[in-house]
Amino acid sequence: MYNKIKRIEKWGVFMLKNRKQSILMAILLLLGLTLFPITGNSAETELKIGAWLGSQPTDAGIKELNQLQGRNLDIVHMFINWSTNFDFVRPHADAVYANNAILLITWEPWEYDTVQIMNGNADSYIRRMAQDMKYYGKEIWLRPLHEANGDWYPWAIGYAGGKNTNSTYIAAFRRIVDIFRSEGANNVKWVFNVNCNNVGPNTSFTGIYPGDNYVDYTSIDGYNWGTTQSWGSKWQSFDEIFSEAYNSLRNYNKPIIIAEWASAEIGGNKAQWITDSFNRIKSSYDKIFAAVWFNHNKETDWRINSSEAALNAYRNAIKKTSATPTATQVLNPTPTPSSAVIYGDVNQDGTFNSIDYGFLKMYLLGMVKEDSINKQAADVDGNGTIDSIDFAYMKMHLLGMINKFPVQENI
């Protein structure tokens, strides 16, 4: 506490000596903004909302769900296998970005186990996808080899046959990432995923982690099956489903996505479960920054509108508490020379948007490591330090109050 007070005192002296900064502070106070971000899912880093639509994304499908839930999606999820090329993905991706959302792709290698991937059997396909995604240019969140701590996928550790091990999984994941990087597909962000429960021999949440240098986000899948399944499923709370995996992944200090989640109607009160779950995320799961609903009538009716009560609960839970801008992408961006600095581009994806703003907040709160941000790009006031002043300037830029950062005035 003493150190924090001293920092505030020093900051106050600096502000008095610098008229421009003092004016900035006055403007922010009038707007009701804060220079010192608070913990938890506050308005500045409001929980991002996503969904799998039940089919591959289209403009009509996205707009329909946006209208149904009363809020625009921040993330749209699609699933593809390794016989799918990017020509198939492109029109669906176009629909996502036309609606100002981010595309999350779950990439399923049904034809391969991790030994085959590790040994290079799929290199030509992976490389072609890397080239196509690089050329596409927009930020894509890619989730390969998901739920590998289970026993139901050919790449999973618990899968019958025992070919997949922690080491082969890690090698396979890294090989995929390395190929993309070698092709310069830096617009792709890597999502590591686990199922909420370890299922099968030798499975764990952490044994398959590819390493900090190969992961941008971690993620968890989990469902409240209620009493719908013949294998003895039961009604479970959010904590019962997610807490164990969350407590394991939070140690990696990476932002966490709930990449698949939903609840059944049978066995309890789905509407109350939705309300309680969002409240738990906001109060006790501070590293969860996005939740992607599995909106599909599949094993049971997972959809947000499986009942009127469930829909009303979901709509109320995801209401925005501020006008925080959603991420936007640059269409057909001009490649930026590696020597150029895009000020504000904290996560180094080639553009400045609200994701960078949220990422800087997590950095200031100590939620992401120092080497995970572009320090030069984050120092938007050009004073040689990264602090809440930079955070404030980013917010002003996103709100349209300024059209360039102070550091750019001298360029």
Along the 411 residues of the chain, how does pLDDT read in single tens digits?
544 444 444 444 444 445 555 555 555 544 444 433 333 343 346 899 999 999 999 999 999 999 999 999 999 999 999 999 999 999 999 999 999 999 999 999 999 999 999 999 999 999 999 999 999 999 999 999 999 999 999 999 999 887 999 999 999 999 999 999 999 999 999 999 999 999 999 999 999 999 999 999 999 999 999 999 999 999 999 999 999 999 999 999 899 999 999 999 999 999 999 999 999 999 999 999 999 999 999 999 999 999 999 999 999 999 964 323 333 333 333 333 334 578 888 877 677 887 888 878 878 877 766 666 788 888 888 877 888 888 888 888 888 788 888 877 755
Which DSSP category does 213 fall into?
Answer: G
Q: Classify each residue of 242-265 as buried b or exposed e, where b means 16 or more C-beta atoms within 10 Å of its C-beta.
A: bebbbebbbebebbbbbbbbbbbb
Is 363 within the bounds of a domain?
no
Residues of the domain holding 15:
1-32
The enclosing domain of 125 has a CATH number of: 3.20.20.80
Helix (H) or strand (E) holding 387: none
What total of structural domains would you count in the chain? Answer: 2
Q: Which long-range contacts (CB under 8 A, 24 or more apart) does 59-62 make?
A: 59/95, 59/98, 59/99, 61/95, 62/95, 62/96, 62/99, 62/101
Sequential DSSP letters for 301-339:
B-STTSSHHHHHHHHHHT--SS-PPPP---SSPPPPPTT
Same domain, 310 and 268: yes
Same domain, 21 and 113: no
Same domain, 132 and 240: yes
Residue 21: how many CB atoms within 10 A of its CB?
18
Decide: helix, strand or coil at residue 60.
Answer: helix
Q: Which residues are catalytic?
A: 147, 260
Same domain, 56 and 13: no
The pair of structure tokens assigned to 146 is: 């998901």
Question: What pTM did the predictor assign?
Answer: 0.71
Same domain, 162 and 22: no
> Which distant-in-sequence residues (6+ apart) come within 8 Å of 47 by Cβ?
41, 278, 281, 282, 288, 289, 290, 291, 318
Q: Alpha-carbon distance 127 to 190, whole Å?
A: 16
